[in-house]
Amino acid sequence: MPRFRNLVFSFLCALCVPYASVVNSQPLAPVEGDYKIANFKFRSGETLPELNLHYRTYGQAGNPAVLIMHGTGGAGSQFIREGFAGQLFGAGQLLDASKYFIVLPDDIGHGKSSKPSDGLHAKFPHYDYDDMIELEYRLVTEHLNVKHLRLVLGTSMGGMHTWLWGETYPDFMDALMPLPFLPLQIAGRNRMTRKMAMDAIRNDPQWKNGEYTSQPLQGLTTAIYVLMWMGSSPLQYQKNYPTRDAADKYVEDQVRTRLRTTDANDLLYQFDSSRNYNPQPKLESIKAKLIAVNSADDQVNPPEQGILEREIKRVPNGRAVVLPISDETRGHGSHTIPGLWKQYLAELLESPKR
């Protein structure tokens, strides 16, 4: 067997085929880095003397560049798992890391980037989505020297950023794929749930205007409940937790796990950063080809509102897709499952460069 394995390895080397890519589609570990910006001024008028943006990259600089942005409370690290990178970044896959330069930032307030829990607490600048995409743009252009993006793709909050990228930097990309957020101001039930989470934290006496020494557990737990509900899928929850005891245990386990890694100020700022989001007035300014994908069981962006279908008509090269509910969809979390939407990604990547 060792002799046979060595022969196979020698044969693959002769063909210039990476042995690891044949054995496992998961690409090599990403390269991590930090970009420090001095005296960044936010749209609120506040300034941070030193702002750090953490990021991960796959592939070689100089290859066609792809920017992928995470959701509220997430980080670029969520994309390096087998269920995402292993489905998209491996050899021969749609975003083959040997052919693309893939950038995965931790947005401000998230992951290993600057955030309230680093020490400023509630004195941290009140960033919004416009600040966040400016910082993403500066990371890509100033630090990573990218002149043009082949694709901008975002999940959840990153999906909202994708709409804003198309409007703010309309000539900078070939294609856009927002997953799964709607291109209008956050209002109605969506805004109400966010306000409930923020109020729960602020109204907890232990929050102490952000200067707590231990987490305000009552408010933070309620905010976590809100997050769980927003991302829930009734079909999957009923299938996976079909008894009272199973459902109760899931909630208890989730809260216990999330409390270990969630900071109340960080979560409060993350929810609040969506306050000014509203790409609706400038949809006609988007030039790149855009395919927006939602799932019919997404409780955050319920399709019965008809908003996506209405607004996509204003995007010159836009198309809307609503995935039907199935055993594979996961409500709002469907955006993290490439198998559900990568056929539309393939369509985008076939579009000509601009």
Closest CA to 27 of 104, 139, 111: 104
Residue 253 domain flag: yes
What would the DSSP string read from start to end of 286-335?
Answer: --SEEEEEEETT-SSS-GGG-HHHHHGGGSTTEEEEEEPP-SS--GGGGG
Distance CA 218, CA 13 (A): 58
In a domain? residue 160: no
Please report whether residue 196 resides in a domain.
yes
Which neighbouring-strand residues pair with 178? 154
Note whether residue 210 is domain-resident: yes
Q: If DSSP codes are grouped into helix, strand and coil, which group holds residue 48?
A: strand
CATH code for position 268: 1.10.1740.110
3-class DSSP state for residue 71? coil
Q: Which residues contact 125 (CB under 8 A, 6 or more apart)?
A: 42, 44, 46, 47, 48
Q: Is the Cβ–Cβ distance between 317 and 344 less than 8 Å? A: no
Predicted confidence band of residue 6 (pLDDT cuts 50, 70, 90): very low
* pLDDT tens-digit readout, 202-260: 999 999 999 999 999 999 999 999 999 988 888 899 999 999 999 999 999 999 999 99
Q: What is the pLDDT of residue 138?
A: 98
| Domain presence at residue 40 | no
User: Both tokens of residue 110?
Assistant: 């998230």
Asked if the structure places residue 129 within a domain, the reply is no
Residue-level pLDDT at 351:
85
Is residue 342 in some structural domain? no
Q: Can you give the residue range of the structural domain that contains 268?
A: 188-272
This model's pTM is above 0.75: yes
Query: How many domains is the chain built from?
Result: 1
Is residue 198, in this structure, part of any structural domain at all? yes
